[in-house]
Each structure stands twice: as structure tokens, then as C-alpha cells.
Amino acid sequence: MLGFFKKLFSSEKTLKSGTIQVATKRQGGGGVGERSTPFAEELEEWEQQNIETLERMSAEMPGGDYFPLLESLQKSISKKSYAEAAEAAHKSIAPLRDWLKDPRGDGARLQLRVPALQQGGTIMALTGDLEGLEKIRDLVTEFDHLESYRLDAMRHFKSYELFVAIRKLVSSKPGVLQNKVKAELGEDDGRHVSNLISWLEKAGEITREKKGKTYALYISEPSNSSSQTQPAETRMYIPAPRTSKADISPDLETFTDRTFRFVAVDVETANRQHSSICQVGLAMVSPSGDVETVGILIDPEQDFERSNANLHGIDETSVAGAPNFKAVIQSLRPFLERHLLVQHSNFDKQAFKAASKFHGVPELRANWVDSVKIARRAWPELKGNGGHGLANLKTYLGLIFEHHDAEEDARAAAEVVLAAEVATGSDFSELVKSKNQNYPTSVAISGNQSGALYGHVACFTGQLSMSRVEAATIAAGAGITVKTSISKKVTLLVVGDQDLSTLAGHEKSSKHRRAEDLQSEGHEIKILGESEFLSLIKAE
């Protein structure tokens, strides 16, 4: 037992007992390693001086569970049984608090090291035990002599978020290079990110393949995970799921017949497979800038993993009676395909694609824009200073939303775009043309079947006063299907200003000339200017 106390009261921090100082060198991963040679004799002397105190602590710890739990924590880590390790770390917090509050306790003088706060905290972050991390935070806040550990406690919350972000990144970009992960996540602490990747590899959640001087990262098969594949009752402590604002069957008709500037989209998933969508959040931005939101719960028809359920508070009971993805996408498809969709990172688009494949339905034919890229253009100063993730933008912009609720996150992505318009003085159509945004200059979208002009097919040519996407969105809202080229199906050609230098000696564009040819052949196709087009929309 005394050898275990050496580990308990030794750390990378310098500890004081009277005039005695104890220090150790830490090995990678935060464990206790080789003692510093200059302090070896003093450590032995310290043990002898405090042997009675240590023996009393072992006997008087409330419940007698604390030290056996710490031994279980270390053994479980050695066996890579990380769910068991997280459980042991979590269970050790309550008896430790009781002992520190006990008047016989000697924690203040001994500067007690809290194993759950170091490796145990990382393990709880890995397994998604938010409740345990909150208990650590409360513990170090409660006792003044644990003040030096408060930064560590908050760092574990950051680790928790990064574990989730790394999983999502590797899921959406299989083969992503490890030396690119820091930039992809907008993080400035590359060592911290690499350490967490190492933990995910140890847990069997990701695999690494050598690529030159770095590694390509891939999601492992679920059966390989030692952090999430244990039976549910032994995985970890699971906080009670919060009540989601999403609805099982919201009234979609309140917005699907309307047209918006753009629609922000966010999803939550039941497990690490991004086909397992269990919630879709939509934030619709009107021409006036008002934001309307809706959250839709979905039965993923896949198992929930506890790390995901802990993150967003949705589990099997939450989606009981909810429609599956196939039913939801059938209702939303016309609406989504006629709007420009905003996502914060590439995960949501990939999730829709994977879920469509899983449920055997056609992929969504929509145009997506990444609000991360818009944020980078609007606030370049955040690069290397917290990054452009929603959590950091929430703080930087003073946004109020509940992270990891799809409806809330969709609204946050929409508000990021609106804030970027103000910050840059550019409207949305200009912002999405930023470098590497892959903004579509022409779009093909289906018309709203309830629109007054449903049945018409339009095509655009020339420079309009608005972006092509905005023009197409307006047309689709009125029921007009938009195509990118002229055919016999087209009934309306909208002509904007022409740049004669691009017309190869002609006075009209190829689309314009083709439309006139179709007119001469007897096809009903009307050629309109932009103002006529807008008047037609308003008239209907």
C-alpha cells in the first residue's frame, strides 16, 4: 500500500509537507514515472515522517472505498479497459470529497493529488462522462487548497469536446493526415490534439497508417473500441438525458411552403457512424434577417452509443415513436433542395449522404456552404486563438445557444453568417464566394409544388443584381424549377447584363440564342429581363 501512496502524493507539481518537497518526472500520458534523483532521499524521509498519517488515511477514509478505487483505476488503464477506468475515477470523487470535508482529514497540508483529475479525467473525457467531469470541477472549486488543479479540471472539458471533434473529423474525412488535424479543428495546441489522438488509438476507436512523415487516420470498426463497447451497465455514469427542444412530429408545413435567404442545417448522431442521424435542426433566415428554427427527432434504426447520448441527451427513449430518416427526408427534400444550405464544417452534408445510403433513398441534391469558411474570412484573428468552431465563436461573438442540440447549433450557424455580414460589410452571396468555398455560380433546384408558378422551368443567363443562388431560391419558392441549361422543357429565360467580352463576338449569350431558336421552332419559352422576372414573382 505504501508504494501506492508514493504515486498518490507524487505528481509533476511540487508538493510541500512542512519544509520537505517532493517531485517526480512524468512520462507521456500523465502517469507517474521515475523519481527525480535529487529528491529520492527526501521522499523516503517524507514517507517515514508521514507513515502514521498515511495509515490513518487508509483506515479512516469514509466507506473505505477510495484507495481500492484508485488501484482499480490504474489497473484498468494498464489493461486498456477505459470504461472501467472511467467508472473507478468517477466513483472515487465522492469518498474523496467526504474525506476532505471530514475534520480528521489532512488533505490541505499534504496537497493531495487527485488521480481522477489527471489520467482519470482524460479517461472520463474519452468515454463521454460529462457528469464525472462536472464533479471534478465542483470538487476543485469547493476546496481552496485544490486551486492549482482548477485549470486541469477545465482542460478536461476541452478534451471532451476535442475527442468528439476528432471523431467527427475522421468520420467525415477518412484518411485525414494527423499533422493536418490541428488546422482542421482550428486549434493552436497541437501537442494536446496529438495526445488525444493517441488515446483514441489506444481505445481502438481510430487506426493510423504511416503516410510519409505523418499518419493517415481512419475510424476503426466499433467492435475494436475499448472505451465504448462494454455492456451498457459497466460503461460509465450516464447523466439523465436533457429534454430536447426537438419534436417527434413538428408541423413542417409552417415553413416548407415558404422561401428563405438560406437554411442552416445541423445533425446529431446516435453513434460514431454518421449515417445514424437522430436529430435534424434547421434554422431558416428570412429576407428581413429573422431566424426561425425547428428540431426534428429521428429514429436512426441503429444502436445509441453512450458517448453520443451523453453529448446531446438523446437516447432510445427520446426517439420512441419518431419517424425514420427515410420518412423525414421525403417531407423535407423539396424544401431543402430549393435552398442554399449552410453547415458548420462538412459533417452534416456527409451525414445526410451516409444516412441516405443506409436507408436506401436518393441523396439530397442540394448546394452546401460551410460557415466555418465564412467565419475564417470574417474573423481571421481567431486563427490560432481558439479557432472558428461553434464553441469558440459562441464566446467571441456573445452568442447564446445550447451546444449539441441540432436545432440550437443550426441557429448558431445561421447567426454566425449574419454576424459575418455585419463584420465584413458583405452580404451572404459575397461571403460564400470566398476562397475555397466552392460556391455554385449556377444551380438546379426543384420548384415548390404549392407555388403559384409550379410547372414553369426557368434558366438564368448574364449578370443579375443578386447571386444566381438567391435568384434560383426566389424562383423555386414561387414554384419554378430552375435548370442550368436551355432545353425544350424550359419555359422562362431570365436575362441579366451581358459582358460582351465573354460572348465570342456575339451580342447575346449562347443560352439566349438557343432560347430564340426554340421560340422560332414553336416552343413556348418566354425571355424576360430581371425586373420582369421579379414582377412576375410578385404578381403571383
Tens of pLDDT, residue by residue over 319-340, are 999 999 999 999 999 889 888 8
Q: How many angstroms separate the CA atoms of 80 and 74, rounded?
A: 10
The overall average pLDDT reported for the chain is 76
Residue-level pLDDT at 251: 66
Residue-level pLDDT at 166: 93
Residue 357 reports pLDDT greater than 80: yes
Whether residue 381 contacts residue 346, with contact meaning beta carbons closer than 8 Å, is answered with no
Instruction: Report the helix count and the strand count for the chain, using DSSP H and E.
Output: 23, 16
| Sign of the CA dihedral running 331, 335, 337, 343 | negative
| Domain spanning 457-539, CATH class | alpha beta
Does domain 253-431 fall into CATH 1.20.1050.10? Answer: no
Q: How many angstroms separate the CA atoms of 187 and 205, rounded?
A: 21
Residue 289 reports pLDDT greater than 60: yes
Residue 470 carries which side chain, given as an amino acid letter? Answer: E
3-state secondary structure of 487: coil
Q: How many angstroms separate the CA atoms of 413 and 396, rounded?
A: 14
The string of DSSP letters for 121-181 reads HHHHHHHT-HHHHHHHHHHHHH-GGGGGGHHHHHHHHHHHHHHHHHHHHHHHSTTEEHHHH
Residue-level pLDDT at 327: 93
- Report the C-alpha dihedral over residues 351, 352, 357, 361, rounded to 10 degrees: 160
Distance between first and last Cα of the chain = 84
Identify the CA nearest to 422 among candidates 431, 410, 413: 431
3-state secondary structure of 509: coil
Query: Given strand 481-482, what is the order of strands in its sheet?
Result: 481-482, 457-461, 492-495, 526-529
Question: At 482, phi and psi to the nearest 5?
Answer: -110, 130
Lowest mean pLDDT among 64-73, 339-348, 363-372, 517-526: 64-73
> DSSP label at 182?
H
| Domain spanning 160-235, CATH class | mainly alpha
Q: How many CB atoms lie within 10 A of CB 457?
A: 19
Q: How many angstroms separate the CA atoms of 39 and 412, rounded?
A: 53
- pLDDT above 70 covers a percentage of the chain that reads 73
Residue-level pLDDT at 49: 53
Identify the CA nearest to 12 among candidates 197, 29, 41: 29
Question: At 41, phi and psi to the nearest 5?
Answer: -65, -40
Q: Which helix (H) or strand (E) holds 277?
A: strand 277-285
Residue 224 reports pLDDT greater than 80: no
Sequence ranges of the domains in the chain: 2-158, 160-235, 253-431, 457-539
pLDDT band for position 295 (cuts 50, 70, 90): very high
Rounded-to-5 percentages of helix, strand, coil across the chain = 50, 15, 35
Q: How many angstroms separate the CA atoms of 83 and 310, rounded?
A: 14
Residue 385 reports pLDDT greater than 60: yes
Across 144-148, average pLDDT: 71
Question: At 380, phi and psi to the nearest 5?
Answer: -65, -20
Whether residue 206 contacts residue 217, with contact meaning beta carbons closer than 8 Å, is answered with yes
pLDDT band for position 497 (cuts 50, 70, 90): confident
Three-point CA angle 171, 325, 243, nearest 5°: 85
- pLDDT above 90 covers a percentage of the chain that reads 21
Residue-level pLDDT at 89: 85
Tens of pLDDT, residue by residue over 149-184, are 777 788 888 888 899 999 999 999 999 999 899 888
Residue 257 reports pLDDT greater than 90: no
Q: How many CB atoms lie within 10 A of CB 427?
A: 14
Tens of pLDDT, residue by residue over 516-527, are 999 999 888 999
Lowest mean pLDDT among 16-20, 206-210, 371-375: 16-20
Residue-level pLDDT at 39: 40
Q: Which residues of 342-353 are buried (b: 16+ CB within 10 A; e: fewer)?
A: bbbbbbbbbbbe
Tens of pLDDT, residue by residue over 27-68, are 333 333 333 334 445 445 544 555 555 555 555 554 456 667
